[in-house]
Amino acid sequence: MPEALPLVLVLLLVLGAEFVNGWTDAPNAIATVISTRVLSPYRAVLMAAVLNIVGALVTGTAVAATIGKGIVMPEVIGLPVVAAAMIAIITWSTIAWRFGLPTSESHALVSGLAGAGLATAGPSVLLWDGWRKVILGLGFSTLLGFSLALVVMLLLYNILRGVGPSFVRRLFGRLQVLSAAFMAFSHGSNDGQKFMGTFALAMVLGGQFTSFHVPLWVVLLCGGVMGLGTVLGGWRIIRTMGSRITKLEPVHGFAAESSAGFAITLASFFGIPLSTTHTINTAIMGVGATKRFSAVRWGVSRQIVLAWVITFPLCGALAALLALLFKLVF
């Protein structure tokens, strides 16, 4: 048991980061459907938990592989690198959650692994192929999320011109259940895989897996922990996403969720790890901007964007400091 203790501790840290991911990231998939009162909070949370797991199960492990063996060289890092990255993620995400700010665990994860890896093994530890996908993910989550939602909403305005508002609300009240389910599924297909990949990476580094793979029990364990985090602590982020950025009706929620879900699913197909937080946030902003530019509460949006911007350097630096400390102590 003493030999296995470091691995056990690191795996617990990975699950802790996945739990915090449930606080701050997974609620993005259901925030709009709750804010428009199409689904009750507990039904929405249950749907999100189930479909996150289904999304991770049926869409392969391309994103998990990018995280587990495409960001830093597994051959030259050890368990302390993973531990440092997880502690950095948990620390920063908990602070942001306290203030109701939706953070990107995707960016916290890749920057944490990179920072800890650089501090331990130098620049050669970084793998360009994985980072190329991370950069592509930035484009998918911001430009595609915003522009696609804006175009979809403008099309719906033209299609529904002259239709009574009560009919529109009833129709999209039903359709938004489908779009929220699609968003939850797509979240699992991309974001749900990331900590599963980290868990599998830790198992390889700890000598329990001879090669990188993500078995079913890892998918179920990580998915369940993420769902538990959403149930117990996701309400702060749901409030920010669902009501503080812009006022949403079911038709707006449908446009935002459908657009974000499509962008995320497309990225998952190509193994691109993107920020689901960024994608749904920018989609909501795009939908709000079609009503009128001032309909988006840009002050709240600026706070969210600031949290995104500082995630990379802050998590990277914190993970690097922790990795150096572990290197000195152990």
pLDDT of 293 higher than 60: no
- What proportion of the chain, given as a percentage, has pLDDT over 70? 88
- Would you place residue 31 in the very low, low, confident or very high pLDDT band (cuts 50, 70, 90)? confident
pLDDT of residue 294: 45
pLDDT of residue 228: 82
pLDDT of 45 higher than 80: no
What is the tens place of the pLDDT at every residue in 57-79?
A: 887 788 999 999 999 999 889 99
Question: What mean pLDDT is reported for the chain?
Answer: 84
pLDDT of residue 11: 98
Least confident of 212-216, 249-253, 256-260: 249-253
Interatomic CA distance for residues 91 and 49, integer angstroms: 24
pLDDT of residue 58: 81
Higher pLDDT, 13 or 29: 13
pLDDT of 114 higher than 90: yes
pLDDT of residue 233: 65
pLDDT of residue 72: 94
b/e string for 244-260 if b means 16 or more Cβ within 10 A?
bbbebbbbbbbbbbbbb
- Would you place residue 205 in the very low, low, confident or very high pLDDT band (cuts 50, 70, 90)? very high
Residue 194 to residues 81, 135, 324: CA-CA distances in angstroms?
16, 16, 24
pLDDT of residue 140: 82
pLDDT of 296 higher than 60: no
Residue 31 to residues 40, 167, 181: CA-CA distances in angstroms?
11, 23, 12
What is the tens place of the pLDDT at every residue in 122-170?
A: 999 999 989 999 988 888 888 888 999 999 999 998 998 888 888 988 8
pLDDT of 24 higher than 80: no
- Would you place residue 1 in the very low, low, confident or very high pLDDT band (cuts 50, 70, 90)? very low
**Domain residue limits, the chain:** 5-329
pLDDT of residue 54: 86
pLDDT of residue 91: 95
